[in-house]
Structure 1
Amino acid sequence: MESATENTGSNVNCAPAARKAPLRCGVFLPPYHNPRRNPTMAIEQDLRHVEDLDRLGFHQVWFGEHHSGGYEVGPSPELMIAAAAQRTERIELCSGVISLPYHHPLMVADRITFLDHMTRGRIRIGVGPGALVADSQMMGMDYNLLRPRMEESLDAILELLETPGPVDRKTEWFSLEDARVQLGPYSYPGVPITVAAAMSPSGPKLAGKYGLGLLSIGGTSDKSFELLERTWGITTHEADEHGRSVDRADWAIVGNIHIADTFEQAVEDTRYGLRDFMDYRHVVTPMKMIEPGEEIAHEELVRRVNESGYGCIGDANDAIDYIQKIIDRTGGFGTFLATAHDWADTEATSRMYRILMRDVMPRFTGTCEPLLNSYHWTQTRKDGFSERFATGISQATQDYERVKSAR
């Protein structure tokens, strides 16, 4: 994101002008892991990556909840948050998301406040209806009822968190009788709550209705952008209708990237897991990146990922262009989240995180601008500085000789 005003050489030493809030960066960790590889090692590596993210200065990491499919092995974001809290110091730990229809609202509210204390206020709770049809089938739930049930649950959870109670509610799937959360919040005024949005307008509708944050996980392909471009309008409309306020700074958008020092290296890195990931996504979503039975070269799959806008495989400049496109088409948002998808092996993924924070994010945070301005300010005055430098040395030499001869 650009600064509201541009610094020039003439004002580099003046007080900094007001500027827009910088874009934050995080990682969305469902997680995705090939079921042919050791899951115990994969879970441990996820937590080690979170430690790296904390040290590198990432702002957030989001943990998912899934119960089927073999690839997305995290059943409880709360468990991952609790484990990561013991290994990190600064990064915000987020649920991405808790599938509300699968849990009693009082249990969710209790776990939220407990985690708030365990992390000393470093949590953000994302909520959603549950994404995988297979998950709801195993629990005997009608998938079409998940979104209305999520809204019922969210309404109850917010009352439990925001009031001393008692809370009394009765729905077809849960009851609350004289209910209250016994542990008060650690955070003031409370734990931030975010609503997930995929391909339907229900997410932005609820975010606006309750004045909550928004997590867009529907992707960045050309088709997905049709919803992304309307998302904030839906959110603000619902907020106005219900007398709430919303802020783009509380909007996080998930993207798919793998970057390396060169485009060629990124292509080689993704031979590790890109096709396996795509095969899985074709099973659990309506994606059509590859036609049934089609055999394509790895380079062709990379081309389709890049040209469709589904993701970005390339170098730092490619990632900058990819993120800037999302900013331009949405009008701006608060946090970019890179999906952890095992397109590359552990070492290449770790290197990608370093490149993202070292070479990509400064373009959107403005942290390098004062340094570059100071460099250019000095560069344009090189001749004058050089002359004065030489004059200073000459004067010091003359002074020394004069004092020496006077002894």
Structure 2
Amino acid sequence: MQLGYFTMPSHPPERPLRAGHEWDLQVMRWLDELGYTEAWVGEHHCSPWEPNSAPDLLLAQAFAQTRNIRLGPGGFLLPYHHPAELANRVATLDHISGGRLNFGVAASGLPSDWQMFKVDGMSGVNRDMTREALDIILKLWSSPEPFEYNGKYWQVELPAPSYQLLRPHLRPLQQPHPPIAVAGLSKGSDTLKLAGERGFIPMSLNLNPGYVASHWESVEIGAARSGRTPDRRDWRIVREVFVAETDELAWKGAVGGMMGRTSSEYLLPLFSQFGFRAYMKHHADVPDSDVTTEYLARHNWVVGSPATVAERLEQIHEELGGFGTLLVLGYDYADAPEAWQQSLTLLANEVMPRLQHLSAPLPVAA
């Protein structure tokens, strides 16, 4: 099992944008020093709790301040970017990274963002736009010849050389392209089906582990469409994790810290309005009123001493049937940085060595 990080990035609404940006950079430096293999940065436009509309700005600085960790958007919201413009930006970022870039994409799930960009997410237009945009980006990066693409949402032309000096020239450093990842949240996720169909990295966001188990079914359905055999070692699982020297200290740091506040003031109320409360329960008979931050900490989060956290992660690994990389969900502990740094350190140095015997089953061709 590999260890990585996924940040929305989350910050309390009162945090100045620059201060939140500096916190995210500090965490990236810690992750690199601790040997985390990868980190992903989300994109959102209309959520004061997730205030980063341009993950590549953070990533460009983070690449200059780290040495080994792979970094990427988690992901760019494709309906809100012209594919040709984004293809060129991502190609440039890959060169800046020295080949450490991962390219995460997503269809966008916040209704407020749909409204800002006038995208009909309720009927799935955002997912259709994501597929078309990704097709264009990959074609721009791979086509040896000029072409015109007249799609439903975008028109693009890769022009022939002209005036003896002008020609398309921006291609990624990694060939044929950086690793592509797709994030999914909902049951029967179409984006995770896309991951299976195209052989991209699937990332499952943070709901009840039993619910997340259904995500692999989506990957398999998509893979069957194209005759692929998906590999569970590629599967990334996002999970809230907080480690301290004792279970009591970990509970205090998680529930009593920014993880708990973000849950109580933002994630739990938002997911409840989306009808996701049922997917946070460990059993269908649990009343909605019982699904509180404390409930999530007991049943969904991974909180405790190194021994407790290792035991819980092994249980989740077994429940899901195996996965390749654990992505710790990031929170803003800028007011208590030592607690978050210690949690990341204990996870890397004391928990992960206890889990090295875990491995996802090898894929078996149909």
Identify the TM-score tier after normalising by the shorter chain. Answer: 0.7 to 0.9
Post-superposition shift, 1:334? 1.4
Looking at structure 2, the residues matched to 361 and 182 of structure 1 have their Cα atoms a distance apart, in angstroms, of: 43
Looking at structure 2, the residues matched to 92 and 24 of structure 1 have their Cα atoms a distance apart, in angstroms, of: 12
Cα deviations across residues 140-188 of structure 1 (Å, max 9, x unaligned)? Answer: 2212311111111122222222333434222332111235952233123
Confirm or deny: 8 A CA contact 1:147 1:202 kept in the other structure: yes
Confirm or deny: 8 A CA contact 1:213 1:246 kept in the other structure: no
- Indicate the residue corresponding to 1:5 in structure 2: none
Looking at structure 2, the residues matched to 125 and 179 of structure 1 have their Cα atoms a distance apart, in angstroms, of: 25
Confirm or deny: 8 A CA contact 2:71 2:102 kept in the other structure: yes
Cα deviations across residues 257-297 of structure 1 (Å, max 9, x unaligned)? Answer: 1111111111222313244312211343235479xxx8x9x
Confirm or deny: 8 A CA contact 1:159 1:167 kept in the other structure: no
Which of 259, 272, 275 is the aligned partner of 2:257? 272
- Indicate the residue corresponding to 1:40 in structure 2: 18
- Indicate the residue corresponding to 1:157 in structure 2: 137
Post-superposition shift, 1:303? 4.0
Looking at structure 1, the residues matched to 229 and 142 of structure 2 have their Cα atoms a distance apart, in angstroms, of: 17
1:250 aligns with 2:241: no
Q: CA RMSD in A?
A: 2.7
- The structure number with the bigger radius of gyration is 1
- Indicate the residue corresponding to 1:281 in structure 2: 267
- Indicate the residue corresponding to 1:30 in structure 2: 8
1:79 aligns with 2:57: yes
Confirm or deny: 8 A CA contact 1:35 1:70 kept in the other structure: yes
CA, structure 1 residues 167+359, in 2 after alignment: closer, same or farther (shift >3 Å)?
farther
- Indicate the residue corresponding to 1:305 in structure 2: 296
Looking at structure 2, the residues matched to 326 and 158 of structure 1 have their Cα atoms a distance apart, in angstroms, of: 35
Cα deviations across residues 288-326 of structure 1 (Å, max 9, x unaligned)? Answer: 479xxx8x9xxx9564123332x1222212221232222
Post-superposition shift, 1:103? 0.4
Letter of the structure 1 residue corresponding to residue 216 of structure 2? W
Give secondary structure in 1 for the equivalent of 2:102.
Answer: strand
CA, structure 1 residues 245+79, in 2 after alignment: closer, same or farther (shift >3 Å)?
farther
Q: Compute the TM-score of the two structures, normalised by the length of structure 1.
A: 0.76
1:202 aligns with 2:190: yes
Which of 178, 189, 195 is the aligned partner of 2:158? 178
Mean CA deviation greater in 247-256 or 24-33:
247-256
- Correspondence 1:27-106 to 2 at 5 A: 27-106=5-84
- Indicate the residue corresponding to 1:123 in structure 2: 101
- Indicate the residue corresponding to 1:359 in structure 2: 350
Which of 178, 196, 201 is the aligned partner of 1:213? 201
Confirm or deny: 8 A CA contact 1:269 1:345 kept in the other structure: no
CA, structure 1 residues 248+163, in 2 after alignment: closer, same or farther (shift >3 Å)?
farther
Which of 329, 334, 343 is the aligned partner of 1:339? 329
Ranges in structure 1 where 5+ consecutive residues have no aligned partner: 1-22, 368-407
CA, structure 1 residues 363+168, in 2 after alignment: closer, same or farther (shift >3 Å)?
farther
Confirm or deny: 8 A CA contact 1:132 1:284 kept in the other structure: no
- Indicate the residue corresponding to 1:10 in structure 2: none
CA, structure 1 residues 162+216, in 2 after alignment: closer, same or farther (shift >3 Å)?
farther
Letter of the structure 2 residue corresponding to residue 188 of structure 1? Q
- Correspondence 1:313-328 to 2 at 5 A: 313-328=303-318
Mean CA deviation greater in 151-160 or 349-358:
151-160
Letter of the structure 1 residue corresponding to residue 323 of structure 2? F
Give secondary structure in 1 for the equivalent of 2:237.
Answer: strand
Confirm or deny: 8 A CA contact 1:305 1:312 kept in the other structure: no
Mean CA deviation greater in 233-242 or 91-100:
233-242
Confirm or deny: 8 A CA contact 1:25 1:335 kept in the other structure: yes
- Correspondence 1:208-247 to 2 at 5 A: 208-217=196-205, 219-221=206-208, 225-226=210-211, 228-247=212-231
Letter of the structure 1 residue corresponding to residue 299 of structure 2? S
Give secondary structure in 1 for the equivalent of 2:249.
Answer: helix
CA, structure 1 residues 267+187, in 2 after alignment: closer, same or farther (shift >3 Å)?
same
- Figure out how many residues of one structure are paired with residues of the other and give that number: 336
Which of 111, 124, 128 is the aligned partner of 2:89? 111
Looking at structure 1, the residues matched to 236 and 338 of structure 2 have their Cα atoms a distance apart, in angstroms, of: 26
Cα deviations across residues 174-223 of structure 1 (Å, max 9, x unaligned)? Answer: 11123595223312343111111111421221012211111111x2415x
- Indicate the residue corresponding to 1:372 in structure 2: none
Confirm or deny: 8 A CA contact 1:31 1:340 kept in the other structure: yes
Cα deviations across residues 328-373 of structure 1 (Å, max 9, x unaligned)? Answer: 1222121100001237832211110100101111122359xxxxxx
CA, structure 1 residues 165+106, in 2 after alignment: closer, same or farther (shift >3 Å)?
farther
Q: Compute the TM-score of the two structures, normalised by the length of structure 2.
A: 0.84
Mean CA deviation greater in 351-360 or 75-84:
75-84
Looking at structure 2, the residues matched to 95 and 341 of structure 1 have their Cα atoms a distance apart, in angstroms, of: 17
Looking at structure 1, the residues matched to 158 and 17 of structure 2 have their Cα atoms a distance apart, in angstroms, of: 42
Letter of the structure 1 residue corresponding to residue 119 of structure 2? M
- Indicate the residue corresponding to 1:395 in structure 2: none
Letter of the structure 1 residue corresponding to residue 204 of structure 2? S
Confirm or deny: 8 A CA contact 1:201 1:234 kept in the other structure: yes
Letter of the structure 2 residue corresponding to residue 331 of structure 1? G
CA, structure 1 residues 237+69, in 2 after alignment: closer, same or farther (shift >3 Å)?
closer
Give secondary structure in 1 for the equivalent of 2:65.
Answer: coil
Letter of the structure 2 residue corresponding to residue 282 of structure 1? L
CA, structure 1 residues 124+149, in 2 after alignment: closer, same or farther (shift >3 Å)?
same
